């Protein structure tokens, strides 16, 4: 599997995140828990807890609430987390969705413009950032790469979350970044679909019927079984909570799952692309 989903791509700790991590660690030890013993009590993995304590992850609201209750932290954790006003490397309009992603029990993504961030390799992502206009500086590119690497940990740290991706075939045919980058990307996606909770379907270039003509879409289900949708355009994003609109997007996504190649046929197509290199 590509290193883009490994822990080495977690962002460098910021002072605010390190402060939250230190507070969490202090209250955890005060309550007599190890990271391993705390994990089942709050519903998060020991690795997730370690990432928070090391200041390498932005703590979700539910995580803070669970820790407050379990560790009897007197509101101190909430106060510390409340000081975190931004997530470096993420677009301002995307941050609310990114927080919901961390808690989702199901996450569905349709893309026709580029490979979704959760599936990108570092080389593919770097190509996208290097070609952005207005141009990004080196520090901005590195910050965005770090943020993307952190998001990708969701795929391996949340094995009970169901991930579904519908990707247009032309995204792999475009050759973004060149031949080697594309081959690495296909290898990476083929590696990810070996996980039981990750499904990728390819929408063929030629399709007489297509329910996704209104553009990219994302859906997620929260632990409380609420559904939200997200739509992104040029320098903007819209979080959709209206049940009627969310239902419409669910209907379109469900139809596309039937119109795209099956999971098995999609994997076969990607293997053919890789073998034809």
What six digits make up the tokens of 256? Answer: 């596309």
* pLDDT above 90 for 202: yes
CA-based angle 67:108:125, to the nearest 5? 85
- Give CA–CA dist 94/99, Å, rounded: 9
The predicted model gives 189-217 an average pLDDT of 96
Q: Tell me the pairing of strands 227-233 and 217-221.
A: antiparallel
Three-state DSSP state, 216: coil
- Give CA–CA dist 235/233, Å, rounded: 6
* pLDDT above 70 for 14: no
The beta strands (E) that lie in 89-224 are given as 106-111, 162-168, 198-203, 217-221
Tokens 């470096």, residue? 88
- Give CA–CA dist 184/186, Å, rounded: 6
Lowest mean pLDDT among 71-75, 159-163, 217-221, 273-277: 273-277
Sign, CA torsion 179/185/189/191? positive
Q: Single out the residue of 25, 76, 30 nearest to residue 54, CA to CA.
A: 25
pTM for the model: 0.73
Query: Which DSSP category does 228 fall into?
Result: E
Three-state DSSP state, 168: strand
The predicted model gives 22-49 an average pLDDT of 94
- Give CA–CA dist 42/39, Å, rounded: 6
* pLDDT above 50 for 1: no
Please classify residue 113 by burial: count the beta carbons closer than 10 Å to its beta carbon, then call 0-12 exposed, 13-18 middle and 19+ buried: exposed
Q: 81-107 pLDDT, tens per residue?
A: 877 754 555 666 677 788 888 889 999
Tell me which long-range contacts 13-20 makes (C-beta under 8 A, separation of at least 24): 13/54, 13/55, 13/56, 14/55, 14/88, 16/83, 16/84, 17/55, 17/56, 17/57, 17/58, 17/84, 18/54, 18/55, 19/55, 19/80, 19/83, 20/52, 20/55, 20/59, 20/77, 20/80, 20/81, 20/84
Average pLDDT of the chain is 89
* pLDDT above 80 for 228: yes
pLDDT of 92: 61
């Amino acid at each position: 599997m590509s290193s883009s989903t490994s822990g080495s791509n977690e962002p460098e700790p910021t002072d605010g995140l390190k402060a939250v991590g230190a507070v969490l660690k202090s209250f955890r030890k005060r309550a007599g828990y190890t990271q391993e013993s705390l994990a089942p009590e709050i519903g998060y993995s020991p690795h997730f807890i370690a990432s928070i304590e090391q200041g390498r992850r932005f703590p979700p609201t539910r995580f803070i609430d669970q820790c407050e209750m379990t560790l009897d932290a007197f509101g101190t954790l909430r106060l510390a987390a409340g000081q975190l006003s931004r997530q470096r490397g993420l677009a301002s309009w995307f941050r609310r969705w990114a927080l919901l992603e961390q808690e989702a029990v199901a996450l569905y993504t349709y893309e026709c413009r580029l490979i979704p961030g959760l599936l990108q390799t570092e080389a593919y992502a770097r190509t996208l950032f290097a070609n952005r206009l207005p141009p990004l500086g080196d520090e901005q590119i590195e910050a965005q790469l770090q943020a993307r690497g952190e998001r990708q940990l969701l795929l391996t740290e949340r094995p009970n979350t169901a991930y579904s991706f519908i990707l247009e075939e032309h995204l792999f045919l475009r050759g973004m970044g060149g031949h080697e980058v594309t081959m690495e990307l296909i290898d990476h996606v083929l590696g990810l679909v070996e996980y039981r909770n990750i499904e990728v379907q390819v929408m063929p270039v030629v399709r007489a019927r297509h329910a996704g003509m209104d553009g990219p879409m994302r859906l997620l289900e929260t632990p409380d079984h609420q559904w939200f949708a997200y739509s992104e355009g040029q320098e903007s994003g819209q979080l959709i909570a209206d049940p009627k609109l969310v239902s419409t997007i669910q209907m379109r996504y469900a139809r596309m799952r039937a119109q795209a190649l099956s999971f098995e046929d999609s994997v076969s197509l990607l293997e053919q692309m890789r073998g034809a290199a």
